[in-house]
Amino acid sequence: MTGPNLVRLAWRNLWRNTRRTLLTLVAISFGLLMAVLFTALQDRSFSDMIDLAARLHGGHVVVQHPEYLDSPTLDRSVQDAPAKLAAIRALPGVQAAVPRITGNVMVASARGSYGALFIAYDPALESPTTLSFLEGVQGDMLDSADGDGVVLGTRLAKNLGVGIGDKVVYTATDSTGEIVSGLARLRATVGTGAPSLDGALVLLPIESVRRVLGYTPGEVTRIAVFIDDSRNSPRVRDAVNATLTDGAVALTWDEVQPELNGFIAMKVGGARFMELVILILVSASIFNTLFVSVMERTREFGIMLAIGWTPRQVSGLIVLESVWLAISGIVLGAALTTPLYLYLKSHPIDVSAQFAADGAPMEIAGVGIAPVLQVGIFPESVVVIVCAIVLATLLSGLYPAWRAGRTVPVESIRLV
């Protein structure tokens, strides 16, 4: 290599004031740690929430009647579900696609009657993947041979005063406006983590509901599409839409549940703000280090410029110092963050004690939030954080670098 070895010189310069550099590195790595853990909590709880919401309300992508969203009545149904399902299942990224009929029912027992939300599903098709929002199952879930079974939310069963094996009557308004009803026997009770839902959830076998409602064999209110990664929802929605021809549209989970999406947007906004604050603190600390160190070295820069260094080389040296600072900070930060992250990933923090005060678990838009802090960061988030820190470091170094390059030798050398 010809020319001065700026990279090596920059590295050595970094360690001229060990204490100051170490402090800065601690600031950068602490910033990285905070940003990663903070984002990891968010990423994880969002993907959990979205997932739960999607499973509960009918998938990451939902196919339904174009007007169902305006008013969810049973006459706004989708025809020919089997053909549509086959086309959707063939799409890349689709984990499962299942037919469902959902709507409002009145459930009655000897003790009383309650309004509820029913989800009629095909026990032969739905798996733990699509029904994983269910927890604490007491009894046996519906099976495909089961024509008159029903599963109720724990609270609803309690309110109705029914136990496993007891009979309930459900009543709904069919697509023609007629009041229709069916009789079913309680097979199991389930929880969802969301108290309001536990008090209003009814699961029924899809075939018996079709019969009761007078639906044709291929008729459903929605097709629920489950995908691997909720962030791909818009892409899958578009792909699904391309397979649809008549009387049905595909929507993403957030289009179906704008209130949940609004909440998430708010939280993401909060996270971005926190990340910005962290970034500004990190930048300020880097700027301070580089600026002070440049100001202390004016004589040296003056001599360098006098003997033939170009201003560009001197500025470049400072930029390289900031690059080293960024790299070292990120390496140290990664060394600090990784073990803590992995520990938290395998040992989620149980914060239910904090929530126990008001007695009820948290829920947002009918989606329960587990009172456990779990981490799980999206790879993109890591890339964004690292890039942000590198960029902040470089930007913080620009002004000091510019100042160093503009040193006037005659003036700086005179000050011995």
Partner 1 sequence: MPKTLATFQNVTKTYKQGAVDVHALRGLDLEIHAGELTALVGPSGSGKTTALNMLGALDVPTTGRVTLEGTDLSTLSRKQLSALRRDRIGFVFQAYNLIPVLTAYENAESVLALQGVAPAERRQRVYALLEEMGLKGMEDRRPDQLSGGQQQRVAIARAIAANPAVVLADEPTANVDSETAEMLLDIMQRLNRERGVTFVFSTHDPRVVAHAQRVVRLVDGKVQSDERK
CB 9 → partner 1: shortest distance, Å? Answer: 7
Helices (H) and strands (E) in the chain, counts: 14, 14
Nearer to partner 1, 141 or 303 (CB): 303
CB 333 → partner 1: shortest distance, Å? Answer: 25
Task: Judge whether 344 and 375 are in contact, CB under 8 Å.
Answer: yes
CB 281 → partner 1: shortest distance, Å? Answer: 29
CA distances from residue 42 to 35, 275, 308, 320, 331 in whole angstroms, order as listed: 11, 12, 53, 34, 23
CB 395 → partner 1: shortest distance, Å? Answer: 25
Residue ranges binding partner 1 (CB under 8 A):
1-5, 9, 12-13, 16, 299-300, 303-311, 313, 409-410, 413-414, 416
Nearer to partner 1, 139 or 409 (CB): 409
Which of 317, 412, 92, 42 is CA-nearest to residue 227?
A: 92
CB 391 → partner 1: shortest distance, Å? Answer: 27
CB under 8 Å to 292, separation ≥6 — which residues? 20
Nearer to partner 1, 13 or 257 (CB): 13
Q: How far apart are the first and last CA of the chain?
A: 33
Q: What are phi and psi of 224, to 5 degrees?
A: -100, 125
Nearer to partner 1, 187 or 297 (CB): 297
Number of other residues whose CB lies within 10 A of the CB of residue 414:
10
CB 407 → partner 1: shortest distance, Å? Answer: 12
- Helix 6-14 to helix 311-346 angle, to the nearest 10 degrees? 60
Nearer to partner 1, 314 or 388 (CB): 314
Task: Judge whether 89 and 97 are in contact, CB under 8 Å.
Answer: yes
CB 19 → partner 1: shortest distance, Å? Answer: 16
> In this structure, is the dihedral angle defined by the CA atoms of residues 84, 86, 91 and 97, taken in order, positive or negative?
positive
- Cα angle, residue 141 at apex, residues 137 and 143 outer, rounded to 5°: 170
Cα separation, 347 vs 143, whole angstroms = 36
- Dump the DSSP string for 104-162: EEEEE-SS-EEEEEEEEE-TTT--TTTTTT-EEEEE----TT-SSEEEEEHHHHHHHT-
Nearer to partner 1, 159 or 298 (CB): 298
- Helix 311-346 to helix 298-306 angle, to the nearest 10 degrees? 130
Nearer to partner 1, 219 or 321 (CB): 321
Nearer to partner 1, 43 or 321 (CB): 321
CB 324 → partner 1: shortest distance, Å? Answer: 13
Do you know the residue count of the chain? 416
Nearer to partner 1, 350 or 411 (CB): 411
CB 290 → partner 1: shortest distance, Å? Answer: 16
Nearer to partner 1, 178 or 411 (CB): 411
R_g over Cα of the chain? 30
CB 413 → partner 1: shortest distance, Å? Answer: 6
